[in-house]
Amino acid sequence: MVKKSFFILLLVGILVSCSYKQYPTQITTTKTVHDTVFVRLPSLPIVPPATTNPIDSLLYDAHTASTPNFNLRKPNFVIIHHTAQDSCGQTFYTFSLTRTQVSAHYVICRDGTLRHLLNDYLRAWHAGNSKWGNITDINSCSVGIELDNNGKEPFSGQQINTLLTLLDTLKKSYGIPASNFIGHSDIAPRRKDDPSVYFPWKLLAEKGFGLWQDSIPPSLQVDSTFKPMEALRIIGYNTHDSTAAIIAFKRHFMQVDSSKTLNEWDIKTLYNLYKKYL
Ligand SMILES: [Zn+2]
């Protein structure tokens, strides 16, 4: 009798666990030729409000109330990377391995080919330990784009053209502000140097993706109360390591990779930019 009850309980347990659907319900996955996992959400899932979802800050209990008014959160930042690898095939292989713990939403190859790896609404693992302003979980609010480039070479015209088209789509789809198109090096200045000084930030800003300095007259006088490190922090840089923040700023806006200090011209540029971010 005890044995029979045990099997009945086991059967009930299996049925309950199989019928439990974890949110979101409409994600399907397929494998590509590169073994890269593509995840598609054909439309925003219409799912009933969860009342038993254990993945939450507080468990639902008897005092739970519900609402049908919700959808998935959308990206508000775009983070641009270079892969630091020699080919797209190498990158797809890296992203296909569980142990690497890295991914991105998009990869753009040297010939301009675009690959969409993850739905924009899902959280890719591209930013790592990063900070921009007060945001410390950049993966949760951004789309990550990887450009196939080893970090020591210019980016191809086809690649940048594809990137501009993609950025235009993302900006329009999610209403992303121009200032929120930034690089991995900007959000992780101590750890990352991508995209390299070859990346055409000025061209991107002219198209509405990222900010760029005005042409600055040599006669420009910087306010005597101006504090460069405070300006870097207001722009968004993590100034905990001031040297790393300066290097990242100069890599992006002065397009040099070797200087650890701000000269007079850098300070004028920073002054001009900081006013745009205020
Ligand atoms: Zn990166």
Question: Going residue by residue through the chain (278 aa), what tens digit of pLDDT does each one get?
Answer: 444 444 444 444 443 333 333 333 333 333 333 333 444 455 555 555 556 666 777 766 667 777 889 899 999 999 999 999 999 999 999 999 999 999 999 999 999 999 999 999 999 999 999 999 999 999 999 999 999 999 999 999 999 999 999 999 999 999 999 999 999 999 999 999 999 999 999 999 999 999 999 999 989 999 999 999 999 999 999 999 999 999 999 999 999 988 899 999 999 999 999 999 99
Whether the CB-CB separation of 201 and 152 falls below 8 Å is answered with no
Write out the CATH class of domain 77-206. alpha beta
Whether the CB-CB separation of 190 and 241 falls below 8 Å is answered with yes
Q: Please identify which of the residues 146, 153, 206, 264 carries the catalytic annotation.
A: 146
SS3 183: strand
pLDDT at 260: 94
pLDDT at 49: 55
Report the predicted TM-score, pTM, of the whole model to 2 decimal places.
Answer: 0.81
User: From ligand 1's centre to the CA of 147, what distance in Å?
Assistant: 9
User: From ligand 1's centre to the CA of 102, what distance in Å?
Assistant: 10
d(CA 247, CA 243) in angstroms, rounded, equals 6
**Cis before 154? omega within 30:** no
User: From ligand 1's centre to the CA of 51, what distance in Å?
Assistant: 38
Q: Do the bridges between strand 77-82 and strand 181-183 make them parallel or antiparallel, or are there none, so unpaired?
A: parallel
**Torsional class of 112: left (φ above 0), alpha (ψ -120 to 50), beta (otherwise):** left
Give the total residue count for the chain: 278
- For the question of residue 230 being annotated catalytic, the response is no
| Count of Cβ atoms closer than 10 Å to residue 199 Cβ | 24
User: From ligand 1's centre to the CA of 138, what distance in Å?
Assistant: 12
pLDDT at 1: 44
Domain residue extents for the chain? 77-206, 228-277
Q: Do the bridges between strand 114-116 and strand 37-40 make them parallel or antiparallel, or are there none, so unpaired?
A: unpaired
